[in-house]
């Protein structure tokens, strides 16, 4: 079980879900908790887990903004964010629902994070 201070980075950060619908917000929070649990199980020190969870939360906020921009048709803003944040996942090529886009991005991110552990 994760320590409360680590979970508080995720659960107390309203900016993580700002602008997202309920479904994509739930997917994002569940993914963050899962990633934090994986980091904790990897045998890292508490401080290292804390630092990495903070980084994941920052990235998750940016992913949430991307999903919001993209699904609202603000593709220019979304693409600028992709460049600024150095997102490498494949961009959508067709119209896609926000929750489906969030799932695709987080699946890709989770695979990349697993390679880094």
* Interval 13-39 mean pLDDT: 92
Q: Is the pLDDT of residue 26 over 90?
A: yes
**Which tens digits make up the pLDDT trace of 29-65?**
999 999 988 888 888 888 888 899 999 999 999 999 9
Dihedral sign, Cα of residue 107, residue 113, residue 87, residue 62: positive
**Which tens digits make up the pLDDT trace of 46-56?**
888 889 999 99
Q: Is the pLDDT of residue 1 over 80?
A: no
**Residue ranges of the domains in the chain?**
4-106
Output the pLDDT for position 21.
94
- CA separation (Å) from 35 to 20, 50, 55, 60? 20, 12, 11, 11
Measured CA to CA, the distance from residue 113 to residue 45 in angstroms comes to 17
């Amino acid at each position: 079980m994760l320590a409360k201070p680590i979970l508080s980075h995720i659960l107390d950060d309203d900016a993580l879900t700002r602008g997202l619908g309920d479904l994509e917000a739930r997917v994002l929070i569940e993914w963050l908790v899962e990633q934090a649990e994986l980091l904790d199980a990897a045998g890292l020190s508490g401080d290292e887990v804390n630092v990495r969870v903070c980084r994941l939360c920052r990235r998750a906020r940016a992913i949430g903004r991307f999903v919001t921009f993209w699904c609202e048709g603000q593709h220019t803003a979304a693409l600028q964010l992709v460049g600024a944040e150095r997102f490498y996942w494949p961009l959508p090529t067709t119209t896609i629902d926000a929750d489906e886009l969030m799932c695709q991005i987080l699946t890709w991110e989770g695979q990349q994070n697993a390679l880094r552990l």
